Amino acid sequence: MVKNYLWAFLFSTTLLWGCKDDDSYDVLLSDESSSLEVLLPKNEIDEMIMQHVQDDQEFKWIEADAQVIWSALMHSDSILSIGYQTEASRGSQLRMGEIEVSSPEWTDARNSLVSLITDLENNARPSGAARTLDSRAHEVIPVFEIKVSSLTTVSDLLQDNRVRYMEPYNYAIDLERYVEEASSSSGSGCGSNNSNFNIPNSDFTLTATGARSSWNHDQMGVRDAWAESNGSGITVGVIDTGLSPNQPKMSQQGFASGNSNGRTVERLGFHYSGSWWWKSNDGPDDDCGHGTAMAGVIAAPDAGDGAAVGVAYGANLISIRGLTNVLINSGSERDGVSDALIYLGNRADLNIISMSIGNVFSSGKVADAVRYAHNKGKLIFSAAGTSTSFTNWYGVIFPASMDETIAVTGVKEQASYQRCNTCHSGNKVVFTAVMERAGTDNTVLTTADSGLQPATVGGSSVATATAAGIAALVWSKYPHWNRDQVLQRLTQTADLYPNRNSQFGFGNLNAAAALQGGAIAREN
């Protein structure tokens, strides 16, 4: 079972940090690297990173000092992840999805860096025969992993303009030192997707089949929209912690039952235990509960029995387990999420990707994969971030902070915008969804890990899943639209349009309004 501290903050590494004097913090952004291989303590690296996040709302390893990167490598497994580029591509924005990394030009660029690293590593050895280093290149995006143990190698790579980014593959902050071990009222993390037997009648409306439609469906125009669209013909991909094998409503038989007949659900696993050549696939099953909850919000069937119904109960679903919990934290989780994005990007039948996951630390590999899927025409929704109330000073997290994703956060049901008790906000937010009752703080109904009784879920996670479901309703009614046209319609019918709030973007989505108004001229 994942500890409470992992779900006390949905993407939680931003919580509390130790105080450091200015001289210690300066090491992180120094332009000069030390000539001595002095290993910085792990807690000192963590605190430097946390201070940088607090000051700049972002941390990238490529901006760190060589000594910090090298020390982080030594505190993990010495594997360095390197994003590379060719001579011709320098200074330009790479078009992920249009790069042939197996071509001679890109192969030469990668091999030349591997050769340089091999020479530097062998030169750093005190004695003995030169050794060939193991490396692992990605088959689609320009990134490879290689073991590095010399500070000189790290320092030289920081100065090499063939290197787009470089990151310790498996370094992770010691969360126990920064996260208060407490339950989150948002219910947006692992261990929180159990049935809720205390749902008041005022928090749901029964459909004609006897399924429970969450109270916020009326707030978001979803129930009115069902008269025109249920999401049929549209496929939504959910990259999260997987799908519970114990939930009958999310099996193929249950998923296509009632008013949801004629659709499909796929369960895939892209997360691996271990690394390098010794990794093994963990399968599609949800050991956390979060992925099942998000899939239920989007696409649970309208099939009665008192179970929760999803926003787009006619849509197809692809559930991918890309990580262990909601944090994109380890190398294997960055691999899983990246590979899931690339896989979904290549699915011609898929329209929408929903990611209620993330971290305060950016990942070059994940960012490459987001751009890959975006360049394939996918509409990508990403959660702005969820934390406990004393830490949500932090703005929009990664990858919701990227221009290629649509950042969504959750608000309370009231006329004036107020974010949910645990939700992040900021100038990267594009849309909001109502997901917390003003008087009771009750959250949204969804599918539990097992059984027909609904669970409840909150935070920016459920707001993101709700937005993905509404997009599916719109795209289903206008199946010949492209991503930009769907996004344009969602924007123009959002509550605050044409204005954009600095914390809440264009405000609450309105499914019913988005389905009205006729066609939008197709853009060239």
Predicted confidence (pLDDT) per residue in 378-418, tens digit: 999 999 988 754 455 578 989 999 999 999 999 999 878 99
Find the range with the poorest average confidence among 7-11, 212-216, 299-303.
Answer: 7-11
pLDDT of residue 495: 96
Do 274 and 161 reside in the same domain of the chain?
no
pLDDT of residue 35: 46
Do 113 and 209 reside in the same domain of the chain?
no
Is 353 part of any domain?
yes
Mean pLDDT, the chain, whole residue set:
86
pLDDT band at 184 (very low <50, low <70, confident <90, very high): very low
Do 249 and 396 reside in the same domain of the chain?
yes
Cβ neighbourhood burial of 127 (10 Å; 0-12, 13-18, 19+):
exposed
Do 227 and 131 reside in the same domain of the chain?
no
In the sheet that holds 316-321, the strands lie side by side as 265-269, 316-321, 235-240, 352-355, 379-383, 406-412, 429-436
Beta-bridge partners for 280: 273
Find the range with the poorest average confidence among 410-414, 508-512, 514-518.
Answer: 514-518
Do 172 and 241 reside in the same domain of the chain?
no
Domain boundary among 144, 177, 210: 177
pLDDT of residue 59: 83
Do 278 and 411 reside in the same domain of the chain?
yes
> What is the sign, positive or negative, of the torsion defined by CA atoms of 61, 64, 70, 73?
negative
Q: Is the pLDDT of residue 522 over 50?
A: no
Domain boundary among 139, 162, 177: 177
Measured CA distances, 483 to 17, 139, 212, 474 (Å): 40, 27, 30, 11
DSSP-derived pairing of the beta strands 135-137 and 143-147: antiparallel
pLDDT digits (tens, 9 = 90+) for 220-234: 999 999 999 999 999
pLDDT of residue 146: 95
Find the CATH number of the domain harbouring 355: 3.40.50.200
Yes or no: say if 348 and 318 are a contact pair by the CB < 8 Å rule.
no
Q: Is the pLDDT of residue 284 over 80?
A: yes
pLDDT of residue 26: 40
Q: Is the pLDDT of residue 152 over 60?
A: yes
Q: What percent of the chain has pLDDT over 70?
A: 85
Q: Is the pLDDT of residue 11 over 50?
A: no
For residues 54 and 52, give the distance between their C-alpha atoms in angstroms, rounded to a whole number.
Answer: 5
Is 193 part of any domain?
no
Q: Is the pLDDT of residue 12 over 80?
A: no
Find the range with the poorest average confidence among 92-96, 102-106, 182-186, 416-420.
Answer: 182-186
Is 422 part of any domain?
yes
Better pLDDT: 173 or 214: 214
pLDDT of residue 192: 55
Mean pLDDT of 124-128: 73
pLDDT of residue 63: 86
Do 232 and 92 reside in the same domain of the chain?
no
Q: What percent of the chain has pLDDT over 90?
A: 69
pLDDT band at 191 (very low <50, low <70, confident <90, very high): low
Is 311 part of any domain?
yes
What domain range includes position 124?
A: 17-177
Do 143 and 231 reside in the same domain of the chain?
no
Do 218 and 69 reside in the same domain of the chain?
no
For residues 18 and 181, give the distance between their C-alpha atoms in angstroms, rounded to a whole number.
Answer: 17
Is 4 part of any domain?
no
Do 242 and 165 reside in the same domain of the chain?
no
Q: Is the pLDDT of residue 177 over 70?
A: no
pLDDT of residue 348: 97
pLDDT of residue 426: 92
Mean pLDDT of 203-214: 97
Question: Which tokens sit at 450?
Answer: 């097992």
Q: What is the count of structural domains for the chain?
A: 2
Q: Is the pLDDT of residue 175 over 90?
A: no
Do 160 and 241 reside in the same domain of the chain?
no
Q: How far, in whole angstroms, is CA 295 from its chain's centroid?
A: 14
Token match 């993990």: residue?
A: 76
Q: Is the pLDDT of residue 5 over 50?
A: no
Is 152 part of any domain?
yes
Find the range with the poorest average confidence among 151-165, 206-220, 238-252, 415-429.
Answer: 415-429
Is 1 part of any domain?
no
pLDDT of residue 129: 65
pLDDT digits (tens, 9 = 90+) for 23-77: 333 444 443 434 457 899 999 998 888 888 777 777 889 889 999 999 999 999 9
pLDDT digits (tens, 9 = 90+) for 322-370: 999 888 888 999 999 999 999 999 999 999 999 999 987 889 999 999 9
Do 332 and 391 reside in the same domain of the chain?
yes
Is 452 part of any domain?
yes
**How many C-beta atoms lie closer than 10 Å to residue 219's C-beta?**
18
